[in-house]
Structure formats: structure tokens, C-alpha cells
Amino acid sequence: MKSPLKAIAILGIVLGGVFGMAGSFVGANLRPSFWAIDGVGLIVATAILALRYFRDQNDAVAVGFLVYSIGEAVMLSGTAASLEASVPAFAAGTALWSAALLLVSLPRHFALWTRAAGLIAAVLFAITSGSIFWGQPVNPLTHPLPFFAYPFLVLTFAGWVVALLKAS
């Protein structure tokens, strides 16, 4: 991957991890802005990574990053709404995140710890999405899920960044 795109992908992942987690702790007036930065950063980063892994003929990982980008875009569509109003987009987005994380984490491309974190996050987000679709009162800040799924997602992001930094 050419250096400028690699840098943009790393920056997008870092912004996604930092602003995504921070958005879970700030007040309702800052949350939409933080999650918008998070979403845009991750959409750009995962689109770049989808193309990179497609060119490397690592199709499962490429499709995973593409699906992640789509899921993040769906989720971004509800970001400006209240927590309650954002739930349908959140449910769809977490379902897509789960599928994407499985596609990226099952192949033996990333380090084992990165893949393990991604698989745990995939399961937790599948449970979150399923709970919403089954009528449970879940929003993006509900405890225990999805609240405790986010650290596994950010740990997965860290693994992606490490892999990008190690790549020639």
C-alpha cells in the first residue's frame, strides 16, 4: 500500500477507536460529533483496507473490510439522532459489524490476539443486534452489551494498526 493511503488508513482507524470510545463517555451534546468523526474515519480506513486486501487477493479479508465500511455507514446515518432514535441504524450496523469482523478475523492473516479480539467482538455485536431485533430495549450505551463489546472492537483496531505499521 502506498504510504499516503497507509497513513490515512491508520489515521482513520485511530480516530475511530479514540472518538468512538470517547463518544460513549461524553455528554449528549458532544456524542453525535464524536461518533461522526469515528464513523467517517472508519469508513475511509476500511474502504482503503478493502481495496488493499482485494489487490493482495485476500478476498475474505477484503470483503470483511468492505462490509465493515457499509455497516459503519449505516450506523453513521443514525448518529445525529437521539440514542433511542438511532437504534434501528445501530441494530443494522452492529449486525454488519459482526459479519465483517468474522470475515476479517477467521482467515489467518492478522496476529492471533487481533483475530481473537475480533471474534469476541463479532459474537458480542451479534448478540447486541439480535437483542434489538428481538425487541429488547438496547441502545448504543446499554450495559452490559454493547458497552463491553467496544473494548474488544478497539483492541481489534489496534491489531489492524500494528499490522499496517509492520507491513512493508
Distances, alpha carbon 74 to alpha carbons 23, 27, 63, 67, 92, in Å: 17, 23, 16, 11, 7
**Which residue from 150, 60, 58, 163 is spatially nearest to 104, judged by alpha carbons?**
60
For residue 71, the model assigns a pLDDT of 98
Task: Encode pLDDT of 33-82 as tens digits.
Answer: 999 999 999 999 999 999 999 999 999 999 999 999 999 999 999 999 99
Tally of domains in the chain: 1
Low-confidence spans in the chain with pLDDT less than 50:
none
Task: Please give the model's pTM, rounded to 2 decimal places.
Answer: 0.96
Distance CA(58)–CA(60), nearest Å, equals 6
Task: Quote the domain boundaries for residue 86.
Answer: 3-166
- Predicted local confidence at residue 143, as pLDDT: 95
